[in-house]
Amino acid sequence: MRYDDSPPSPESDASVSPDRRWFTRRSGLAVGAAVLAPTLLAGWVLVQLTTGAGADDARPPRIVMPAAVPSPTPTSSPSSAAPQAKGPLAGRTVVIDPGHNTGNFKHTSEIDKKVDIGTNRKECDTTGTTTNAGYMEAEFTLDVSRRLRTVLEAKGLKVVLTHEADRAWGPCIDERARIGNEAAADAVVSVHADGVSSGNRGYHIILPAKVKGGAADTAKIVGPSRDLGERIGSNFARTTGSAPANYLGSGTGLVVRDDLGGLNLSTRPKVFIECGNMRDAKDAALLTSPEWRQKAAQGIADGIVGFLGG
């Protein structure tokens, strides 16, 4: 099922219209200004918002924020310090995919390059959205992913992140899928937050549709991915107190999509989670709270552990 009438999300966001690409590039031009004069930039963004530029796509100009502290550490943490998992969690691997990359806006030509997603060709990656105050989705996704890793490693699971502020842009969506496949992950979760108009609130889980074409064949993962997604959704709702999205999914918090390369190319059970709407002030207040992000990570982790039988 596709929701053609809904605003674009995850990987489709920079691919739909020339306008959107214009914004991505326009924001890239603001990089220098942002570094030198964040206050000035904030004013510029306000102007952009109040003049209605970009209102059609609900994804205003990307705002430059200090990137997460670069880390030379590998994306896979050493497991020697982690407790040994027993029972159904023993020897299991979880791949966490922090959506987007804080550096993507500086590399629009690279991330705009099309990659093969089996059923189609799509942009390598997108910039993601921001809150009105400029907190980047890419910062959010990496923070939640790191918290999630900590919780899962405490359970003795092996955890691999697809990236961790260790590269200038990307990975491309096909590489994100490949990392999960090559790790033979028992579960893969791609962490995101949505960027749609104010008043749209809540979380939703994106499940892979059954697709076949080129390197894409999701027949074997559709069932287990739904199980994974339902468990993550219910646990996320419990730990965060958030409600399922009020703007899609008919109140189930579940949406099936056939247009996301990260799902189409996965051979492992995989879902996306859109944790909330960064463009809604009430949701943004949650998404920007470290305490809330910890609850979010805990809920996602509980769903994964339940899926793995732990």
Binding site for Zn ion (CB under 5 A): 10, 99, 128, 192
Q: How far is CA 42 from CA 37, 57, 139, 284, in A?
A: 9, 20, 18, 17
The nearest distance, CB 12 to Zn ion, in angstroms, is: 10
Are 294 and 213 in contact by the 8 Å Cβ rule? The answer is no
Q: Which residue, 4, 159, 185, is CA-closest to 73?
A: 159
By C-beta, is 153 or 194 nearer to Zn ion?
Answer: 194
Q: Which residue, 240, 236, 255, 246, is CA-closest to 302?
A: 236
By C-beta, is 10 or 61 nearer to Zn ion?
Answer: 10
The nearest distance, CB 275 to Zn ion, in angstroms, is: 10
By C-beta, is 11 or 230 nearer to Zn ion?
Answer: 11
Within 10 A of 31 (CB to CB), how many other CB atoms are there?
A: 14
Report how far residue 260's alpha carbon sits from residue 283's, in angstroms, rounded to the nearest whole number: 24
The nearest distance, CB 10 to Zn ion, in angstroms, is: 4
Q: Which residue, 271, 269, 260, 273, is CA-closest to 117?
A: 260
Q: Which residue is nearest to Zn ion (CB)?
A: 192
By C-beta, is 136 or 216 nearer to Zn ion?
Answer: 136
By C-beta, is 147 or 192 nearer to Zn ion?
Answer: 192
Burial pattern 107-130, b for ≥16 Cβ within 10 A else e, equals: bbeebbeebebbbbebbbbbbbbb
The nearest distance, CB 191 to Zn ion, in angstroms, is: 8
The nearest distance, CB 59 to Zn ion, in angstroms, is: 10
Are 192 and 127 in contact by the 8 Å Cβ rule? The answer is no
Q: 227: which 2 tokens?
A: 């199980």
Question: Catalytic positions, please?
Answer: 274
User: DSSP letters of 33-76?
Assistant: HHHH-HHHHHHHHHHHHHTTTTTTTT-------PPPPP--S-SB
